[in-house]
Structure 1
Amino acid sequence: MSESIQTIEVAATADVTASDADVLARTVTAVRGAGAVLRERFGDVVAYRTREELMSALAGNDDAALDILRPALTRLRPDAGWVEDELDGGALPAGEWWVVDPAEGNVNHLQALPEWAVTATLVRDNQPVLTAVHLPLTGETYTALAGAGAHLDGRPLRVSPTTDLGLGLVATSQARPDEDEKVVHRIGSSITAMLLDALVVRTSVPATLHLVNVAAGRLDAFWQYAGARADLLPGALLVTEAGGQISDAQGRPWTPRSETFLAAAPGVHAQAVTTLSR
């Protein structure tokens, strides 16, 4: 089976089994439960003076959410593997894996900023099968099931009809702290190129919240250099099932091994590739 998730959009609806739909429904319950725990922990800015204190605060949020997510998702798929490090990238071994970010945008949570979420994605032979992204502060839950579309609280999602990048709202994100200098320069150059070609460029973390906006038609494109499975796979499935296109920044099929990522409405995808390839 090809690792490229670009092929998801042609999956036949008949291939979506009732068990996958049931797993998705129960996954939604799990991410909402974890979100409720994180919402209770949200409020004042969490002070930290050292990297060690920061990492401890981040781990506290992760552990609180995982106390809900890990047992619930393990019961759903007892034989599925579990990705321990949310910053890991690359292909997974064959079989089923849970790719979970218990606090996507965790640093925003600590800073009392609203842009954070809980995500859980079931991956089968390197293809994302289902995903649930819950935004605890708004109560919104975004879901996608391969071959069955993308939804926001049960309402179908569709990407933007924009066909002119010059009228497009686009976004990018920093994949992780402490990027190497080469990646940092590529990010800067790409933002400059998009500032010249697109209408508005947004830059913030986390990636998943930009990608749900692409799936919902609020943004026209999102790109990122480097990246982890946990911050790209949920949104990649959502965008694909909402009718968008996924590739690397040069327009080639994207896989978890790719060094770049691009999700866009079909009408601006080729223009975005041209801009990012300069």
Structure 2
Amino acid sequence: MESRVSVLNDNEKVPYVVSSKSYTAVAINCAAKAGEWIQSKLGTVKQLSTKTSAQDLVTEVDKGAEQMIRKLILTHFPDHAILGEEGVEPGSEAFAKALEDVKDEPYLWIIDPIDGTTNYVHGFPFYSVSIALAYKGEVIVGVVYDPSRDELFIAEKGKGAYVHGNPTRVSKEISLADSLMATGFPMDRSNTLNNMAGIHAVLPKVRDLRTSGSAALHMAYVAAGRLSGYWELGLKAWDVAAGALLVQESGGKVTDTEGRPYNLSVRNLVATNGAIHESILDTLSQAEATDFRKD
């Protein structure tokens, strides 16, 4: 049976119905093949470069994996646009321009070949391949693949989210005191005061806090109920587009740090099981830890 997704846009009176089966199959195939290749190169990185800072790493494996994914996507959908981390110059302005350049593209693939490159370089097994497909700005397919654990997280707009073929659901914690949260550190360490203020405010209120280094996997873990919530400042679309759909399709909530609905331009993000969302937003707001203005 063909899987179908209805996407209702502001300018449309009738939902636009797209077949998501082929899109999802291609996303899964791309993530699996890239993940397998990434694992085969583990421990063999020869060229290590930096982008915005000494902590913002890129390797020949990142670049090779992105090229592999691009070729596979364009083989099936030559008219689709692609926004990939390694195809955009570092910095906020370059990201904003890249997003502006593709704003009128009906179908946009958003890819991060290795989300968690620093972990990958050090052999710390918490990194992932993140692939999303947006239709007119709304994410309709999201795939996050963890090659270390061979875990594939899949979401289709309106059709739920799955890992190992089983539906994922967000956790049931209703108080911060019972919650396991995650966050991350901006790549540019020259301005981390807001990030540290957020940690300082949240940590005393929650059961514990994790900073494991892959936004996409943190989001997938929120979707699967392994984390109660996650927030981070200074992100980009390829970090979280797939994960945002995973969380939403698992019953959770995704906004910016001031409570506005998620869209591809959001860089300061909160994703939770929904029940603790307002509490996290309030905590960050009171700590004046909702914004990160410098790359």
TM range (shorter): 0.7 to 0.9
Find the counterpart in structure 2 of residue 23 from structure 1: 23
Q: Is residue 119 from structure 1 mapped to residue 119 from structure 2 by the alignment?
A: no
8 Å Cα contact 1:159-1:216 kept in structure 2: yes
1:59 Cα deviation (Å)?
Answer: 3.3
The 1:30/1:256 distance shift into structure 2, 3 A limit, reads closer
Q: Aligned-pair distance for 1:48?
A: 7.6
Evaluate the alpha carbon distance shift between residue 84 and residue 260 of structure 1 in structure 2; reply closer, same or farther with a 3 A threshold.
Answer: closer
Residues 66-105 of structure 1: CA distance to partner in whole angstroms, max 9, x if unpaired?
3421111112322111114356355641221111111111
Partner residue of 1:172?
Answer: 183
Q: Does 1:205 align with 2:213?
A: yes
> 1: distance between equivalents of 2:263 and 2:80?
20
More RCO (CA 8 Å, sep 6+):
1
Secondary structure of the 2:134 match is: strand
Q: After superposition, what is the alpha-carbon deviation per residue over 1:115-138, rounded to whole angstroms, capped at 9, x for unaligned?
A: 111121111111111011111111
Q: How does 1:266-277 map to 2 (within 5 A)?
A: 266-277=274-285
What is the match of residue 262 of structure 2?
A: 254
2:42 is matched with 42
Q: 1:229 and 2:240 equivalent? A: no
One-letter amino acid of the structure 2 residue matched with residue 153 of structure 1: H
Query: Runs ≥4 in structure 1, deviation > 4 angstroms?
Result: 46-52, 89-92
Q: 1:69-88, aligned counterparts within 5 Å?
A: 69-85=69-85, 88=95
Deviations 1:138-161 (CA, angstroms, capped at 9, x unpaired): 111101000101110211000011
Q: Partners of 2:276 and 2:79 in 1: how far apart? A: 40
Aligned partner of 2:247 among 220, 224, 239 = 239
For residues 60-209 of structure 1, the aligned pairs below 5 Å read: 60-85=60-85, 88=95, 92-94=102-104, 95-175=106-186, 177-181=187-191, 184-209=192-217
Find the residue that maps to 1:277 and give its secondary structure. Answer: helix
Contact 1:16 1:146 in 2 (8 A): no
TM-score, scaled relative to structure 2: 0.81
- 1:59 corresponds to 2:55: no
TM-score when normalising by structure 1: 0.85
Indicate the structure with greater helix content: 1
Instruction: Provide the rounded CA distance (Å) in 1 between the counterparts of 2:242 and 2:141.
Output: 8
- Report how many aligned residue pairs link the two structures: 261
Check whether the contact 2:236–2:266 (CA below 8 A) recurs between aligned residues.
no
Change (3 A) 1:48 1:63: closer
Q: Which residue of 2 aligns with 1:4?
A: none
**Identity rate of aligned residues, in percent?**
28
**8 A contact 1:61–1:106 mirrored in 2:** no
Q: Which moved more, 1:254-263 or 1:24-33?
A: 254-263
- Unpaired runs of 5+ in structure 2? 1-7, 10-14, 287-295
Structure 2 letter corresponding to 1:93: K
RMSD: 2.6
Q: Report the alpha carbon displacement of residue 179 of structure 1 after superposing the two structures with TM.
A: 4.9
